[in-house]
Amino acid sequence: MSFLDRLSDLHRKHRWLGHAAFWLVYLVIAVSASKYRDGRDGTYAFEFMSDAVYMFAEMIAAYGLAYVVVPLFFYRKRYVLAVIALVVICYTACVTGRIFIVKLCEPMAGVKPKSFETYGEILTDLPKLLYVYLFDMLAAAAIFTFVKVAKDQTETKKRALELEKQKAETELKLLKAQLNPHFLFNTLNNIYALSLSNSPVTSGAIAHLSEMLDYILYQCNARYVPVSGEITLLKNYISLEKLRYDERLRVDFRFDQQQDILIAPLILLSLVENAFKHGAGNDTGSPVIDIELAAGTGHFDFKVSNTYYPNLEVRHASSIGLPNLTRQLELIYPGKHTLQISPNNNLFMVELQLDLT
């Protein structure tokens, strides 16, 4: 977490600390400016006391502008009411500031009260309130409002990013959970049939399924996983799917793993599962599934192709797997992936490229 993020979190938990820090900094700057203006005529103690008293009037303008006028004008679109509130708040702040100066600050400086500076005079001397006090009040209020609006905008963007991140993570979890239940059903049936015939491959099939479930349930919780784990997953999946078919099905799986890079989990399984479902599942001839993987520094290429009969309806584009995969890629690799789907003659090919730089 960065320093600014820690400050933001601290302010959310203890907002009064943020307000106190702002006005303390503002007071220090005001005292320095007053001391420079008055020179030897004003001590630091006097400047601090007078500026601190006057600052309470400036706070009326600041909080009124930030918490009343701005919300009315920009968020609620109550323009007339916002203008009225601005006039009332500015008048109140200016009158309060002048009362503090005349009745408190000047007596502290040894200036005797003037007979004509009555409360009635203070309330009705609009030119003095306008030209002497208004711009000071608006300056402090503008600075405070700018800081508040900037902070609010930052927090709003941060909350939006957090919500988007949570939404994306939820969608990814749902996508990861969509392992085809028919695959599990068919695999268990196949293992059951093998066990009835005391086939020697029964224990191997159970081991493949156990390894697959262990990987999916417990090792795919991270956003990225080593590609070696995905390769092992595909090997186990292919071995289990081959139990459903005789020698007529040919599966070629070639991989060139130059580096054990990190990729999003289960995206490759969706493509291979799609090829088995619509290639071997719909083909009554001699289906062929070809899988090729290349993983190197900064790049990843994965290609899956399967044969199909042109006179059979091709449902690849409308299946659940590919749309889910497309959405998953948009969430994890925005602008850094290419997914090409190309049915051609008797061959249906899907090619995935990832930019991992």
- Cα–Cα distances in Å, from 159 out to 119, 153, 162? 49, 10, 5
User: CA-CA distance, 88 to 97, in Å (whole number)?
Assistant: 14
By C-alpha distance, which of 315, 275, 313 is closest to 183? 275
pLDDT at 318 over 60: no
My answer on whether 262 and 343 are in the same domain is: yes
Read off the CATH number of the domain in which 347 is found. Answer: 3.30.565.10
My answer on whether 276 and 245 are in the same domain is: yes
Q: What is the mean pLDDT of residues 330-337?
A: 88
Q: Where are the beta strands (DSSP E) in the chain?
A: 225-226, 250-257, 262-263, 288-296, 299-307, 337-344, 347-355
Three-state DSSP state, 266? coil
My answer on whether 349 and 210 are in the same domain is: yes
pLDDT at 279 over 80: no
My answer on whether 194 and 166 are in the same domain is: no
Contact between 267 and 352 (Cβ < 8 Å): yes
Mean pLDDT computed over every residue of the chain: 84
My answer on whether 8 and 87 are in the same domain is: yes
Question: Of the candidates 122, 145, 170, which is a domain's last residue?
Answer: 170
My answer on whether 256 and 112 are in the same domain is: no
CB atoms within 10 A of CB 132: 14
Q: What is the mean pLDDT of residues 175-198?
A: 76
**pLDDT score recorded for residue 303:** 96
How distant is the alpha carbon of residue 9 from its chain centre? Answer: 16
My answer on whether 133 and 215 are in the same domain is: no
User: CA-CA distance, 220 to 46, in Å (whole number)?
Assistant: 67
pLDDT-based confidence at residue 12 (cuts at 50, 70, 90): low
Kindly state the DSSP code that residue 40 receives in the 8-state scheme: G
My answer on whether 241 and 222 are in the same domain is: yes
Q: What percent of the chain has pLDDT over 70?
A: 86
Q: Quick: pLDDT tens for 207-225.
A: 999 998 888 888 887 888 9
Q: Quick: pLDDT tens for 54-71.
A: 999 999 999 999 999 999
pLDDT at 182 over 70: no
Strands 337-344 and 288-296, sheet pairing? unpaired
Which of 148-152, 198-202, 242-246 has the lowest average pLDDT? 242-246
Q: What is the mean pLDDT of residues 235-263?
A: 87
Question: Of the candidates 140, 170, 200, which is a domain's last residue?
Answer: 170
Which of 132-141, 173-182, 271-280 has the lowest average pLDDT? 173-182
My answer on whether 165 and 250 are in the same domain is: no
pLDDT-based confidence at residue 315 (cuts at 50, 70, 90): very low
- Cα–Cα distances in Å, from 154 out to 4, 21, 148, 303? 11, 19, 10, 43
- Phi, psi dihedral angles at 288 (to 5 degrees): -130, 130
pLDDT-based confidence at residue 2 (cuts at 50, 70, 90): low
Q: What is the mean pLDDT of residues 250-258?
A: 91
Domain around 231? 177-355
pLDDT at 184 over 70: yes
pLDDT at 7 over 70: no
Q: What is the mean pLDDT of residues 41-65?
A: 88
Tally of domains within the chain: 2
Q: Classify residue 96 by burial, with Cβ atoms within 10 Å: 0-12, 13-18, 19+.
A: buried
Which of 15-19, 263-267, 315-319 has the lowest average pLDDT? 315-319
pLDDT-based confidence at residue 10 (cuts at 50, 70, 90): low
My answer on whether 151 and 203 are in the same domain is: no
**pLDDT score recorded for residue 176:** 61
Question: Of the candidates 170, 193, 211, which is a domain's last residue?
Answer: 170
**DSSP secondary structure string, 333-356?**
STTSEEEEEEEETTEEEEEEEEE-
My answer on whether 231 and 313 are in the same domain is: yes
pLDDT at 259 over 50: yes
By C-alpha distance, which of 100, 103, 93, 102 is closest to 129? 93
User: CA-CA distance, 158 to 170, in Å (whole number)?
Assistant: 18
Kindly state the DSSP code that residue 220 receives in the 8-state scheme: -
My answer on whether 160 and 189 are in the same domain is: no
Contact between 85 and 72 (Cβ < 8 Å): yes
**pLDDT score recorded for residue 321:** 62
Which of 3-7, 214-218, 261-265, 337-341 has the lowest average pLDDT? 3-7
pTM of the model: 0.56
Q: What is the mean pLDDT of residues 121-149?
A: 91
How many residues are present in the chain?
357
